[in-house]
Amino acid sequence: MSEMTTEKFETYAKNAGEPRWFTEKRSAAFDKAKELPMPSFQKIKYHRWPIQLEKELVFSKSELDENEKSVIDDSENLLIEFGQSTDTIKISEELKEKGVIVADLKAALTEHRDLFERYYMQKAVKVDENRLTAQHAAKVTSGALIYIPKNTIIEKPITTYFIQDATKAEDYVHHVLLIADSCSEVSYLENLLTVGNNETTANIIVEVIARPGSHVKFASFDRLGENTTTYLNRRGYLEQDAKIDWSMGMMNDGNIVGDFDSDLIGNGSHAEVKVVAITTGKQVQGIDTRVTNYGKHSIGHILQHGVILAKSSLIFNGIGHIIHGAKGADAQQESRVLMLSTKARGDANPILLIDDNDVSAGHAASVGRVNEEQLYYLMSRGLPKKLAERLVIRGFLGPVLTAVPSISVRKRLSDMIEEKLIDGQENE
Amino acid sequence: MSTLEIKDLHVTIEGKEILKGVNLTMKTGEIHAIMGPNGTGKSTLSESIMGNPAYKITQGDVLLDGESLLDKPVDERARLGLFLAMQYPAEIPGVTNAEFIRGAINARRPKEDPISIRKFLKELSKIMNFLDMTDEMAERYLNEGFSGGEKKRNEILQMMMIKPKFAILDEIDSGLDIDALKVVSKGVNEMRGSEFSALIITHYQRLLNYIVPDVVHVMMGGKIVKTGGPELAKKLEDEGYAGLRDELGLDIKLTDENA
C-alpha cells in the first residue's frame, strides 16, 4: 500500500475514532482487492458501471433535515443513519434488559469488539471473496450491529433506515451484521434510501447469522437513488434448524446488482426468499438470488416476480445449488418477469446445480407481456390505462406478496410498489 | 336524452370484413335486441362500439350525441356512458371485485371527490342482494374462479353500480340456467328508465321473454337485415333464421345451418 493511502486511512481512523485493529483490516483488504477478480453473475453485464470504490476514504458528517425525516415511520426500536452519521438509536427498555444490541458501526467496533470481530466478514461473506467485497472491507464507513441473545423472542420489529447522503459526491459503503443467537426470533425491517442527486457508488453488505434454531424475518425496502450505482450483497448463514424469511422489495431507481445468497449450512435449515422488483426509466436491476444446500434436509425456496417499464432491464437469476451429501435437501425456485413496454428487457434465468441424488428440486421461469385482454376488460369499465396496468401488475405480483409472512410488511411493500409504478409511468 | 348512432359501420379482423355496413340508432329509454345466427358479426359489433383495439373500423362511424367515438380509447368511451357486459369476462387475480367496482365509479368522479366507502358498500350490498349474490363475492378476486353464471351476474352487478347510459349485453344469456337468466333479466329491467338504454345481443329468443325489447333487429352476414317490434323475435323462434333469410331473398350461408 502506498504511503499516501496509509496516511488517508490513518487520518480517517483518527477523525472517526476508529480502533487500530480495524484500520489494519482495512489496509489488508485494500491490498488484496487489487488482485481479486470482480464477481460474475450470469446475464448481468455490469462491468462498465462505476461500481468499484475508487474514491478516497474521507470522514464526513451528515445531518437530516425535518423534511427528509418525514419519510420515516417512527417505531419503538429504531436506528436511523444518514451517510456516515447516526441520527437516532433507540430500543425499548424490555429489549435492553434482555441484552439486545442495536449499535452503529463505531459502537460495534469500540463497545462490542469481541462479538463484531468474531462474525464480521468471517462466516457469511468473506473479505477475499471478490474485488467488491475486499473494496468494501477497505472502505466501509457506516453500518450496524444487531444482536439478539439466546432464547430471546422479540415481538416488536427492529426497524432501520440507512440513508445514503448523495448531496455529497462520496461513496456509500455500509455494513450490517445481524446475529440471531440460538433459538431467538426477530423481525427486522430495513429501509435503504438516497437523499441527493450526485453520481455515486454504493457498496452495501448485509450479513445475517442465524444460529441454531433461530428464526429471522428479514424485510427490506430498497429505494436507492437514480444516480447511485450499487453493489448490494445480502447473505444468510444458517446453522442447524435455523430459518430466514427474506422479503425484499427492490424499488431502486439506479443501476444495481443484487447478490442475494443463503448458505444452508446446518441440517434442517430453511430459507424462504421472496423478491419483488420494479424497474423503470433506463435503469438496470440485475438480481442474482442463490440458495446453497449444504445441510441434510435443508430447504431453500426462491420466489421472485418483477415488472419492467419503459426502457429498463431486469434480470432475475435463480440459483439452487445442492452440495454433495445434502441428503433430503429441497431447492425450489420460481422467477417471473412482466414487461410493460416493447423497449423493456427482461430475463428470468433458472439454474439448478445438483450434486446429490436423494434430493428434490424444481424451477419455473417466465418472461411475458401484460395480458391485453385483462387490460381491455378493466379499461372497458372506465379505468384509465395506467391504473388498469397497475391493477394487472398487482395481480401478477400477488403470489409473492401473499407469501410475505407479515401483514404490515406486505402492506408497506404494496404501497412502495404503487409509488414506484406511478413514478415510473409518469416518466414513460 | 342521449343518442347512440352507428352509421354504415364496416369492420375487419385480420383482413377479413365482418361488418359490412351496420346502421342502428338508439335513444336512452329504449331497449333494443339484436338477434342473429352464429358467426354473423354480433360480437364484432359490440366490441367495435366499445372500442376493442383488436377490431379495425374501415368505414362508417359510431357517434354519441353527435360526437364520433372512433378516436377515443375504450376507457374514455366507458366514462362517456358506454358499457359492455362481455361474453367472456377476463379474470384479474389480486384485485377484489369491490375495489374494482369502486375504482370504476371513482374514475367517473372528480379526483378530489371519490365516493365514500360507506355509501359505496351500502349500495354494493343492496344490489348484490337484489341479484342473489353472496357477500363474499365482493371480496373475491375479480372473476377469478367464478362459474359461468357468477361471471354473468357479476357483469350485471357492475352495470347496476356504474349506471351507464348505453349498456351492450353480449350473449349475457349464454350458458345460463333459467334461475340465473331470471336474475340477470331482473337486473336489466330494474335499470329500465329514461336515462338508460340497452342493446341485448342474443342468439335465442328465450331471454326476450324476460326482457321485453322495444325494438328487435335481425343481423345476418354482417348487416342488419330486418327491424321490427318484439313480435319479430317470436316469428324468428318459430321460423328460424333460414326462414327469414329465404323470405328476404338473401344469399347468405349460415354457419350453423345443416347442409
* pLDDT tens-digit series, residues A374-385: 999 999 999 999
Task: State pLDDT tens for residues B1-10.
Answer: 999 999 999 9
Q: Are A322 and A293 in contact (CB under 8 A)?
A: yes
Q: Are A257 and A222 in contact (CB under 8 A)?
A: no
Question: Which residues of chain A does B86 touch, with a Cβ-Cβ cutoff of 8 Å?
Answer: 377, 380
- What pTM did the predictor assign? 0.86
Task: Report the candidate in A163, A313, A298 with the shortest Cα–Cα distance to residue A237.
Answer: A298
Q: Say whether A382 and B79 touch across the interface (CB within 8 A).
A: yes
A383 touches chain B (CB under 8 A): yes
Question: Which residues of chain A does B100 touch, with a Cβ-Cβ cutoff of 8 Å?
Answer: 378, 381, 391
| pLDDT (0 to 100) of residue A309 | 93
| pLDDT (0 to 100) of residue A409 | 84
B75 touches chain A (CB under 8 A): yes
| pLDDT (0 to 100) of residue A395 | 86
* CA dist., res. A307 & res. B211, Å (int): 45
Q: Where are the domains of chain A?
A: 3-370
Residue A320 dihedral angles phi and psi, to the nearest 5°: -115, 115
A391 touches chain B (CB under 8 A): yes
The mean per-residue pLDDT over the stretch B108-115 comes to 94
* CA dist., res. B26 & res. B217, Å (int): 12
| pLDDT (0 to 100) of residue B257 | 55
Q: What is the ipTM of this complex?
A: 0.94
- Average pLDDT over chain A, rounded to whole? 95
Give A412's pLDDT tier (boundaries 50, 70, 90).
confident
Closest Cα of chain A to B93: distance in Å?
5
Give B258's pLDDT tier (boundaries 50, 70, 90).
very low
Question: Which residues of chain B does A307 touch, with a Cβ-Cβ cutoff of 8 Å?
Answer: none
- Helices B117-130 and B178-191 meet at what angle, rounded to 10? 130
Q: Say whether B92 and A396 touch across the interface (CB within 8 A).
A: no
Q: Are A209 and A119 in contact (CB under 8 A)?
A: yes
DSSP bridge pairs for A353 = A321
- Helices A385-401 and B97-106 meet at what angle, rounded to 10? 160
Burial category of B238 from C-beta neighbours within 10 Å (exposed 0-12, middle 13-18, buried 19 and up): exposed
Question: Which residues of chain B does A422 touch, with a Cβ-Cβ cutoff of 8 Å?
Answer: none
Q: Is the pLDDT of residue B259 over 60?
A: no
The mean per-residue pLDDT over the stretch A135-158 comes to 97
Closest Cα of chain A to B37: distance in Å?
25
Residue of chain A whose alpha carbon sits nearest to that of B80: A382
Closest Cα of chain A to B76: distance in Å?
6
Task: State pLDDT tens for residues A102-126.
Answer: 999 999 999 999 999 999 999 999 9
How would you classify residue B166: left for phi > 0, otherwise alpha for psi between -120 and 50, otherwise beta? beta
| pLDDT (0 to 100) of residue B249 | 87
Which superfamily, per CATH, for B3-248?
A: P-loop containing nucleotide triphosphate hydrolases (3.40.50.300)
**Owner of C-alpha cell 336524452:** B1
Instruction: Extract the runs of DSSP E, i.e. beta strands, from chain B.
Output: 3-13, 16-27, 31-35, 56-64, 67-68, 82-85, 92-96, 141-142, 166-170, 197-202, 215-220, 223-228
Residue of chain B whose alpha carbon sits nearest to that of A398: B94
Residue A147 dihedral angles phi and psi, to the nearest 5°: -130, 125
The mean per-residue pLDDT over the stretch B199-204 comes to 92
| pLDDT (0 to 100) of residue B60 | 97
* CA dist., res. A405 & res. A424, Å (int): 27
Q: Say whether A381 and B107 touch across the interface (CB within 8 A).
A: yes
Closest Cα of chain B to A186: distance in Å?
29
The mean per-residue pLDDT over the stretch A237-247 comes to 98
The mean per-residue pLDDT over the stretch B96-125 comes to 96
Closest Cα of chain A to B75: distance in Å?
4
Element (H, E) at B143: none
- The C-alpha cell at B105 is 365509479
Question: Which residues of chain B does A371 touch, with a Cβ-Cβ cutoff of 8 Å?
Answer: 90
Distance spanning both ends of chain A, measured CA to CA? 48
Question: A64-78, A349-363, A365-379, B43-57: which range is least confident on average?
Answer: A64-78
The mean per-residue pLDDT over the stretch A237-263 comes to 97
| pLDDT (0 to 100) of residue A1 | 58
Q: Say whether A394 and B95 touch across the interface (CB within 8 A).
A: yes
Q: Of the candidates B50, B78, B92, which has its C-beta nearest A391's C-beta? A: B92
Q: Of the candidates B73, B83, B93, which has its C-beta nearest A395's C-beta? A: B93
Give B131's pLDDT tier (boundaries 50, 70, 90).
very high
- Percent of chain A, pLDDT > 90? 86
Task: State pLDDT tens for residues B8-26.
Answer: 999 998 889 999 999 999 9
- Average pLDDT over chain B, rounded to whole? 93
* CA dist., res. A300 & res. B92, Å (int): 30
Strands A270-279 and A243-250: parallel
- The C-alpha cell at A174 is 455500509
The mean per-residue pLDDT over the stretch B110-116 comes to 94
Give A401's pLDDT tier (boundaries 50, 70, 90).
confident
Sheet holding B16-27: strands in order across? B16-27, B3-13, B56-64, B67-68
The mean per-residue pLDDT over the stretch A151-177 comes to 96
Task: State pLDDT tens for residues B53-71.
Answer: 989 999 999 999 999 999 9
Indicate which of B48, B95, B96, B143 best probes the interface with A, i.e. most A CBs within 10 Å of its own CB: B95
Q: Is B194 helix (H, G, I), strand (E, B) or coil?
A: coil
Quote the longest CA-to-CA distance of chain B: 61
* CA dist., res. A93 & res. A157, Å (int): 14
B104 touches chain A (CB under 8 A): yes
* CA dist., res. A396 & res. B49, Å (int): 30
Task: Check residues B65 and A425 and name the one with the higher pLDDT.
Answer: B65
Dihedral of the alpha carbons of A9, A12, A17, A19, in degrees to the nearest 10: -10
A379 touches chain B (CB under 8 A): yes
